[in-house]
Amino acid sequence: MDYAIGCDVGGSFVKMGLVERDGTLKARHTTPLPRFDTPEQLAVWLTDTLMEFYKKNAPDGAVLHGVGIGIPGPVRFPDGTLFDPPNLPFEGEIPFGDLLRSTFPHPLFIDNDATVQTLGEARVGKGKGAQNFIYMALGTGIGGGIVMNGQLYRGTLGMAGEIGHLTIDYRGRKCLCGSRGCLETYASINGIANTLKEIDRPLPEEIRESLENGQWSRLPGILKERIDRGETEWQEVWDIFADALGAGMGTLINLFNPEKIVISGGLSHLSALFLPRAIKTSRRYAFTRPAVACEIVVSDLKDTAGIIGAAFMAFESGQT
Ligand SMILES: [Zn+2]
Protein backbone atom coordinates (compact mmCIF):
# COMPACT_ATOMS: atom_id res chain seq x y z
CA MET A 1 0.00 0.00 0.00
CA ASP A 2 0.97 3.60 -0.68
CA TYR A 3 1.99 5.81 2.24
CA ALA A 4 3.25 9.32 2.74
CA ILE A 5 4.90 10.88 5.76
CA GLY A 6 3.41 14.17 6.92
CA CYS A 7 5.63 16.27 9.14
CA ASP A 8 5.10 19.46 11.08
CA VAL A 9 8.27 21.28 12.19
CA GLY A 10 7.47 23.61 15.09
CA GLY A 11 9.78 25.74 17.20
CA SER A 12 10.29 23.14 19.93
CA PHE A 13 8.80 19.90 18.60
CA VAL A 14 8.61 17.94 15.37
CA LYS A 15 5.38 16.04 14.78
CA MET A 16 5.16 13.31 12.16
CA GLY A 17 2.58 10.87 10.93
CA LEU A 18 2.31 7.93 8.56
CA VAL A 19 -0.70 8.56 6.35
CA GLU A 20 -2.59 6.33 3.92
CA ARG A 21 -3.85 7.63 0.62
CA ASP A 22 -7.41 8.05 1.95
CA GLY A 23 -6.09 10.28 4.75
CA THR A 24 -6.08 7.66 7.52
CA LEU A 25 -3.43 8.46 10.10
CA LYS A 26 -1.74 5.09 10.65
CA ALA A 27 0.89 6.14 13.22
CA ARG A 28 2.15 9.33 14.75
CA HIS A 29 5.11 10.49 16.76
CA THR A 30 6.31 13.71 18.36
CA THR A 31 9.91 14.40 19.24
CA PRO A 32 11.71 17.45 20.68
CA LEU A 33 13.65 19.48 18.13
CA PRO A 34 17.33 19.63 19.15
CA ARG A 35 19.21 22.87 18.57
CA PHE A 36 21.48 22.89 15.54
CA ASP A 37 24.14 25.37 14.44
CA THR A 38 23.54 24.94 10.73
CA PRO A 39 20.61 24.08 8.44
CA GLU A 40 22.75 21.23 7.05
CA GLN A 41 22.84 19.54 10.48
CA LEU A 42 19.09 19.96 10.84
CA ALA A 43 18.52 18.40 7.40
CA VAL A 44 20.60 15.32 8.29
CA TRP A 45 18.86 14.91 11.66
CA LEU A 46 15.39 15.33 10.13
CA THR A 47 16.15 12.78 7.41
CA ASP A 48 17.36 10.21 9.97
CA THR A 49 14.41 10.86 12.27
CA LEU A 50 11.80 10.54 9.53
CA MET A 51 13.34 7.41 8.04
CA GLU A 52 13.59 5.78 11.46
CA PHE A 53 9.91 6.62 12.12
CA TYR A 54 8.94 5.14 8.76
CA LYS A 55 10.90 1.91 9.25
CA LYS A 56 9.40 1.42 12.68
CA ASN A 57 5.79 1.96 11.60
CA ALA A 58 5.42 0.97 7.95
CA PRO A 59 3.94 -2.51 7.34
CA ASP A 60 5.73 -5.04 5.12
CA GLY A 61 5.35 -4.24 1.45
CA ALA A 62 4.59 -0.56 2.08
CA VAL A 63 5.59 1.92 -0.61
CA LEU A 64 6.68 5.37 0.54
CA HIS A 65 5.28 7.88 -1.92
CA GLY A 66 7.13 10.80 -0.36
CA VAL A 67 7.23 13.21 2.52
CA GLY A 68 5.55 16.56 3.01
CA ILE A 69 6.75 19.09 5.56
CA GLY A 70 4.94 22.10 6.99
CA ILE A 71 7.04 24.83 8.58
CA PRO A 72 6.03 28.24 10.00
CA GLY A 73 7.04 31.41 8.20
CA PRO A 74 7.53 32.35 4.58
CA VAL A 75 8.32 29.37 2.35
CA ARG A 76 8.75 29.49 -1.41
CA PHE A 77 6.88 26.64 -3.05
CA PRO A 78 7.78 24.24 -4.61
CA ASP A 79 11.55 24.53 -4.04
CA GLY A 80 11.19 24.87 -0.25
CA THR A 81 13.41 27.90 0.32
CA LEU A 82 12.82 29.46 3.76
CA PHE A 83 13.03 33.21 4.32
CA ASP A 84 14.12 34.12 7.87
CA PRO A 85 12.25 31.21 9.50
CA PRO A 86 10.86 32.67 12.76
CA ASN A 87 11.05 29.42 14.76
CA LEU A 88 14.49 28.21 13.70
CA PRO A 89 17.84 29.74 14.71
CA PHE A 90 18.80 30.53 11.09
CA GLU A 91 18.53 33.82 9.24
CA GLY A 92 18.24 34.88 5.64
CA GLU A 93 17.41 32.75 2.64
CA ILE A 94 17.81 29.06 3.54
CA PRO A 95 17.65 26.52 0.68
CA PHE A 96 16.13 24.00 3.08
CA GLY A 97 14.27 22.06 0.38
CA ASP A 98 17.49 21.52 -1.60
CA LEU A 99 19.37 20.49 1.55
CA LEU A 100 16.73 17.94 2.50
CA ARG A 101 16.41 16.58 -1.01
CA SER A 102 20.18 15.91 -1.00
CA THR A 103 19.85 13.74 2.13
CA PHE A 104 16.33 12.28 1.89
CA PRO A 105 15.98 9.23 -0.37
CA HIS A 106 12.33 9.93 -1.41
CA PRO A 107 10.40 12.82 -3.05
CA LEU A 108 10.06 15.71 -0.62
CA PHE A 109 7.93 18.86 -0.51
CA ILE A 110 7.93 21.78 1.92
CA ASP A 111 5.37 24.53 2.40
CA ASN A 112 4.15 26.97 5.02
CA ASP A 113 2.45 25.21 7.95
CA ALA A 114 -0.90 26.97 7.55
CA THR A 115 -0.99 26.23 3.81
CA VAL A 116 -0.40 22.58 4.56
CA GLN A 117 -3.13 22.59 7.25
CA THR A 118 -5.50 24.12 4.70
CA LEU A 119 -4.85 21.14 2.43
CA GLY A 120 -5.61 18.81 5.36
CA GLU A 121 -8.93 20.59 5.96
CA ALA A 122 -9.69 20.41 2.23
CA ARG A 123 -9.13 16.67 2.01
CA VAL A 124 -10.42 15.24 5.29
CA GLY A 125 -11.76 18.18 7.35
CA LYS A 126 -14.52 20.80 7.24
CA GLY A 127 -13.31 22.06 3.85
CA LYS A 128 -13.95 18.68 2.19
CA GLY A 129 -16.16 19.10 -0.84
CA ALA A 130 -15.99 22.91 -0.79
CA GLN A 131 -14.77 24.49 -4.02
CA ASN A 132 -13.92 27.79 -2.36
CA PHE A 133 -12.98 28.18 1.27
CA ILE A 134 -10.76 30.16 3.58
CA TYR A 135 -8.80 28.61 6.44
CA MET A 136 -7.84 30.59 9.54
CA ALA A 137 -5.72 29.18 12.38
CA LEU A 138 -6.04 31.37 15.46
CA GLY A 139 -3.08 30.91 17.79
CA THR A 140 -0.08 33.04 18.78
CA GLY A 141 -0.65 34.79 15.47
CA ILE A 142 -3.03 33.87 12.64
CA GLY A 143 -2.16 31.38 9.93
CA GLY A 144 -4.23 31.32 6.79
CA GLY A 145 -4.89 29.46 3.58
CA ILE A 146 -7.05 29.88 0.50
CA VAL A 147 -8.71 27.21 -1.63
CA MET A 148 -10.11 28.45 -4.94
CA ASN A 149 -11.88 26.22 -7.43
CA GLY A 150 -10.86 23.16 -5.43
CA GLN A 151 -7.15 24.05 -5.52
CA LEU A 152 -4.82 25.63 -2.99
CA TYR A 153 -4.10 29.18 -4.05
CA ARG A 154 -0.39 29.85 -3.49
CA GLY A 155 0.19 33.09 -5.41
CA THR A 156 3.16 34.20 -7.51
CA LEU A 157 5.93 33.23 -5.08
CA GLY A 158 3.96 30.58 -3.22
CA MET A 159 3.50 32.96 -0.32
CA ALA A 160 -0.21 33.82 -0.53
CA GLY A 161 -2.70 33.38 2.31
CA GLU A 162 -1.14 35.59 5.00
CA ILE A 163 -4.56 36.37 6.44
CA GLY A 164 -3.07 37.36 9.80
CA HIS A 165 -1.54 40.37 8.09
CA LEU A 166 -4.73 41.65 6.51
CA THR A 167 -4.82 45.35 7.44
CA ILE A 168 -8.04 46.03 9.27
CA ASP A 169 -6.97 49.42 10.68
CA TYR A 170 -4.32 51.29 8.73
CA ARG A 171 -3.58 53.49 11.73
CA GLY A 172 -3.85 50.61 14.17
CA ARG A 173 -1.52 48.55 16.34
CA LYS A 174 2.07 47.86 15.28
CA CYS A 175 2.60 44.31 14.05
CA LEU A 176 5.68 42.07 14.37
CA CYS A 177 5.78 42.00 10.55
CA GLY A 178 6.63 45.71 10.51
CA SER A 179 3.20 46.80 9.33
CA ARG A 180 0.32 48.32 11.26
CA GLY A 181 -3.24 47.30 12.10
CA CYS A 182 -2.85 43.68 10.97
CA LEU A 183 -5.72 41.34 11.94
CA GLU A 184 -3.44 39.28 14.18
CA THR A 185 -2.55 42.31 16.31
CA TYR A 186 -6.17 41.99 17.58
CA ALA A 187 -7.53 38.49 16.98
CA SER A 188 -4.81 36.15 18.30
CA ILE A 189 -2.99 35.41 21.56
CA ASN A 190 -0.68 38.34 20.78
CA GLY A 191 -3.79 40.40 20.10
CA ILE A 192 -5.28 39.54 23.49
CA ALA A 193 -2.01 40.63 25.16
CA ASN A 194 -2.10 43.90 23.17
CA THR A 195 -5.70 44.55 24.27
CA LEU A 196 -4.90 43.86 27.94
CA LYS A 197 -1.94 46.27 27.79
CA GLU A 198 -4.30 49.00 26.57
CA ILE A 199 -6.83 48.56 29.40
CA ASP A 200 -6.54 51.53 31.74
CA ARG A 201 -7.53 49.92 35.01
CA PRO A 202 -5.30 47.89 37.35
CA LEU A 203 -4.93 44.30 36.14
CA PRO A 204 -5.12 41.25 38.45
CA GLU A 205 -1.71 39.92 39.42
CA GLU A 206 -1.89 36.68 37.38
CA ILE A 207 -2.68 38.68 34.23
CA ARG A 208 0.02 41.28 34.93
CA GLU A 209 2.60 38.55 35.58
CA SER A 210 1.73 36.62 32.43
CA LEU A 211 2.01 39.82 30.40
CA GLU A 212 5.36 40.76 31.93
CA ASN A 213 6.89 37.28 31.71
CA GLY A 214 5.86 36.83 28.10
CA GLN A 215 3.61 33.87 29.04
CA TRP A 216 0.92 35.17 26.77
CA SER A 217 -0.43 31.74 25.87
CA ARG A 218 -1.86 31.53 29.44
CA LEU A 219 -3.98 34.65 28.95
CA PRO A 220 -6.94 33.19 27.01
CA GLY A 221 -7.46 30.49 29.67
CA ILE A 222 -7.17 33.00 32.53
CA LEU A 223 -9.77 35.25 30.91
CA LYS A 224 -12.15 32.35 30.32
CA GLU A 225 -11.87 31.21 33.93
CA ARG A 226 -12.61 34.70 35.23
CA ILE A 227 -15.61 35.11 32.93
CA ASP A 228 -16.90 31.69 34.05
CA ARG A 229 -16.56 32.89 37.66
CA GLY A 230 -18.76 35.89 36.90
CA GLU A 231 -16.18 38.59 36.15
CA THR A 232 -18.02 39.53 32.99
CA GLU A 233 -15.93 42.68 32.40
CA TRP A 234 -13.26 40.42 30.79
CA GLN A 235 -15.67 39.61 27.98
CA GLU A 236 -14.75 43.06 26.67
CA VAL A 237 -11.32 41.66 25.68
CA TRP A 238 -12.99 38.91 23.63
CA ASP A 239 -15.42 41.43 22.11
CA ILE A 240 -12.51 43.45 20.72
CA PHE A 241 -11.05 40.17 19.41
CA ALA A 242 -14.43 39.25 17.87
CA ASP A 243 -15.01 42.62 16.21
CA ALA A 244 -11.57 42.54 14.59
CA LEU A 245 -12.07 38.95 13.46
CA GLY A 246 -15.51 39.84 12.10
CA ALA A 247 -14.12 42.78 10.13
CA GLY A 248 -11.41 40.50 8.71
CA MET A 249 -13.88 37.76 7.81
CA GLY A 250 -16.24 40.31 6.23
CA THR A 251 -13.39 41.51 4.00
CA LEU A 252 -12.50 37.93 3.08
CA ILE A 253 -16.15 37.21 2.22
CA ASN A 254 -16.28 40.24 -0.07
CA LEU A 255 -12.98 39.32 -1.72
CA PHE A 256 -13.49 35.59 -2.23
CA ASN A 257 -17.22 34.87 -1.90
CA PRO A 258 -16.28 31.55 -0.19
CA GLU A 259 -18.62 28.69 0.69
CA LYS A 260 -16.95 28.37 4.07
CA ILE A 261 -14.50 29.90 6.47
CA VAL A 262 -12.92 27.17 8.61
CA ILE A 263 -11.62 28.33 12.00
CA SER A 264 -8.87 26.29 13.60
CA GLY A 265 -5.82 26.74 15.83
CA GLY A 266 -5.27 26.75 19.59
CA LEU A 267 -7.96 29.37 20.26
CA SER A 268 -10.70 27.61 18.29
CA HIS A 269 -11.74 25.57 21.36
CA LEU A 270 -12.68 28.90 23.00
CA SER A 271 -14.82 29.92 20.01
CA ALA A 272 -17.96 30.26 22.19
CA LEU A 273 -16.35 33.40 23.63
CA PHE A 274 -15.88 35.19 20.31
CA LEU A 275 -17.32 33.42 17.27
CA PRO A 276 -21.04 34.25 17.56
CA ARG A 277 -20.22 37.97 17.83
CA ALA A 278 -17.55 37.72 15.08
CA ILE A 279 -20.08 36.15 12.69
CA LYS A 280 -22.58 38.93 13.41
CA THR A 281 -19.89 41.56 12.88
CA SER A 282 -18.74 39.95 9.62
CA ARG A 283 -22.25 40.46 8.23
CA ARG A 284 -21.97 44.19 8.87
CA TYR A 285 -18.78 44.39 6.79
CA ALA A 286 -19.71 42.02 3.96
CA PHE A 287 -22.34 42.26 1.24
CA THR A 288 -25.48 40.47 2.33
CA ARG A 289 -25.74 37.66 -0.20
CA PRO A 290 -22.13 36.39 -0.01
CA ALA A 291 -22.28 36.75 3.80
CA VAL A 292 -25.42 34.60 4.01
CA ALA A 293 -23.90 32.08 1.57
CA CYS A 294 -20.74 31.68 3.66
CA GLU A 295 -20.81 29.14 6.47
CA ILE A 296 -18.35 29.88 9.28
CA VAL A 297 -17.37 26.67 11.06
CA VAL A 298 -14.85 25.38 13.60
CA SER A 299 -12.46 22.62 12.52
CA ASP A 300 -12.71 19.23 14.22
CA LEU A 301 -9.30 17.95 13.12
CA LYS A 302 -7.58 19.23 16.28
CA ASP A 303 -3.84 19.12 15.66
CA THR A 304 -3.78 16.55 12.87
CA ALA A 305 -4.58 18.88 9.92
CA GLY A 306 -0.89 19.75 9.51
CA ILE A 307 0.35 16.15 9.44
CA ILE A 308 -2.42 14.89 7.15
CA GLY A 309 -2.19 17.95 4.89
CA ALA A 310 1.58 17.57 4.57
CA ALA A 311 1.11 13.94 3.55
CA PHE A 312 -1.47 14.95 0.92
CA MET A 313 1.00 17.51 -0.42
CA ALA A 314 3.37 14.59 -1.04
CA PHE A 315 0.64 12.39 -2.57
CA GLU A 316 -0.54 15.18 -4.86
CA SER A 317 2.90 16.56 -5.69
CA GLY A 318 2.73 18.63 -8.82
CA GLN A 319 -1.06 18.80 -8.70
CA THR A 320 -1.73 21.01 -5.69
ZN1 LIG B 1 1.45 42.05 10.29
Band the pLDDT of 319: cuts 50, 70, 90: very low
CA–CA dist 2, 10 (Å, integer) = 26
Mean pLDDT, rounded, for 51-78: 93
CA-nearest of 100, 140, 135 to 120 is: 135
Helix (H, G, I), strand (E, B) or coil at 139: coil
Which residues lie closer than 8 Å to 107 by C-beta, 6 or more apart?
65, 66, 67, 314, 317
CA of 156 to the centre of ligand 1 (A): 20
Domains of the chain: 2-120+304-315 (3.30.420.40), 129-298 (3.30.420.40)
In this predicted structure, what is the pLDDT of residue 118?
A: 97
CA of 173 to the centre of ligand 1 (A): 9
CA of 237 to the centre of ligand 1 (A): 20
CA of 189 to the centre of ligand 1 (A): 14
CA of 169 to the centre of ligand 1 (A): 11
Q: Are 188 and 139 in contact (CB under 8 A)?
A: yes
CA of 162 to the centre of ligand 1 (A): 9
CA of 175 to the centre of ligand 1 (A): 5
Helix (H, G, I), strand (E, B) or coil at 122: helix
In this predicted structure, what is the pLDDT of residue 303?
A: 85
H, E, C per residue of 180-240? ECEHHHCCCHHHHHHHHHHCCCCCCHHHHHHHHCCCHHHHHHHHHHHHHCCCHHHHHHHHH
pLDDT > 70: what percent of the chain? 99
Which residues lie closer than 8 Å to 138 by C-beta, 6 or more apart?
187, 188, 245, 263, 264, 265, 266, 267, 268
CA of 242 to the centre of ligand 1 (A): 18
In this predicted structure, what is the pLDDT of residue 78?
A: 87
* Amino acid, res. 93: E
CA-nearest of 77, 86, 81 to 177 is: 86
CA of 139 to the centre of ligand 1 (A): 14
CA of 168 to the centre of ligand 1 (A): 10
Given a cut of 80, is residue 316 above it in pLDDT?
yes
Mean pLDDT, rounded, for 239-246: 98
- 300-311 pLDDT, tens per residue? 998 899 999 999
Given a cut of 50, is residue 320 above it in pLDDT?
no
100-107: Cβ within 8 A, 24+ apart: 100/43, 100/46, 100/47, 100/69, 102/43, 103/43, 103/44, 103/47, 104/47, 104/50, 104/51, 104/67, 105/51, 106/64, 106/65, 106/66, 106/67, 107/65, 107/66, 107/67, 107/314, 107/317
CA of 177 to the centre of ligand 1 (A): 4
Say how far residue 308 (Cα) sits from the centre of its chain: 13
Of 82-96, 161-175, 208-222, the least confident = 82-96
CA of 167 to the centre of ligand 1 (A): 8
CA of 115 to the centre of ligand 1 (A): 17
- 125-169 pLDDT, tens per residue? 999 999 999 999 999 999 999 999 999 999 998 889 999 999 999
Residues in the chain: 320
In this predicted structure, what is the pLDDT of residue 84?
A: 86
CA of 24 to the centre of ligand 1 (A): 35
Task: Quote the pTM value.
Answer: 0.93
CA of 19 to the centre of ligand 1 (A): 34
CA of 102 to the centre of ligand 1 (A): 34
Q: At what angle do helices 189-198 and 219-228 cross, to 10 degrees?
A: 70
CA of 61 to the centre of ligand 1 (A): 47
Mean pLDDT, rounded, for 56-75: 93
Q: Are 32 and 45 in contact (CB under 8 A)?
A: no
CA of 30 to the centre of ligand 1 (A): 30
CA of 165 to the centre of ligand 1 (A): 4
CA of 188 to the centre of ligand 1 (A): 12
